[in-house]
Amino acid sequence: MHRHVISMLVENHAGVLSRVSGLFSRRGYNIDSLSVGVTEDPDYSRITVVTRGDDMVIEQICRQVAKLVDAVKVKELLPDESVYRELALIKVRAEAGKRAEIAGITDIFRANIIDVSATSMTVEITGDQSKIAAFTELMAPYGLMETARTGLIGLERGPEVIKNYEAYSRPQEEN
């Protein structure tokens, strides 16, 4: 079972996310990550779903989502042809003597310290899932207090775009 990232352009109104997630649950498909946000056109939202399955299952998911009334475009984002990112906020224990070490690691990862208290620091980090996992692993010895992650988002590399005038398409992998 391989990880797949599916990007959906949908109409931006109430109930759309419920219909999409309901389709997944009714068919017994698991959602590893789900991210939703309005696009450059306020009439449309982009839903990014990370799920697992073989190629036939992913094809079926894409076709079923594309049949929903609110779905405008559905496309799998292939790893070699796309850029993926995730945002995480990580709160770590930070006594005065450890703050410089934490700040140094934060700088190496190009993360930002966004809050400091007497006993903790909150760090904002953006990147792929492996970068966030590596950072979290290095912060663990200091004491992870709390973590919040956005879920994966992605766009195709280059000039390709998912707009409301394009029909459903699944990219073809080159052999």
What does the alpha-carbon distance between residue 64 and residue 140 come to, in Å, rounded to a whole number? 41
Boundaries of every domain in the chain: 2-81, 83-149
pTM equals 0.81
- The strand pair at 2-11 and 71-77 is best described as antiparallel
Two tokens at 75? 């496309």
Q: Per-residue confidence of the chain (175 residues) as pLDDT tens digits?
A: 788 999 999 999 999 999 999 988 888 888 999 999 998 889 999 999 999 988 888 898 898 888 888 889 999 999 999 999 999 999 999 998 999 999 999 999 999 999 999 999 999 999 998 999 999 999 999 999 999 999 899 998 988 787 754 444 444 444 4
Class for domain 2-81, per CATH? alpha beta
Phi-psi region of 15 (alpha: psi -120 to 50; beta: other; left: phi over 0): left
Domain 83-149 maps to which CATH number in 3.40.50.10860, 3.40.640.10, 3.30.70.1150, 3.90.1300.10?
3.30.70.1150
| CATH topology identical between 2-81 and 83-149 | yes
b/e map of 128-138 (b: 16 or more CB within 10 Å)? ebebbeebbeb
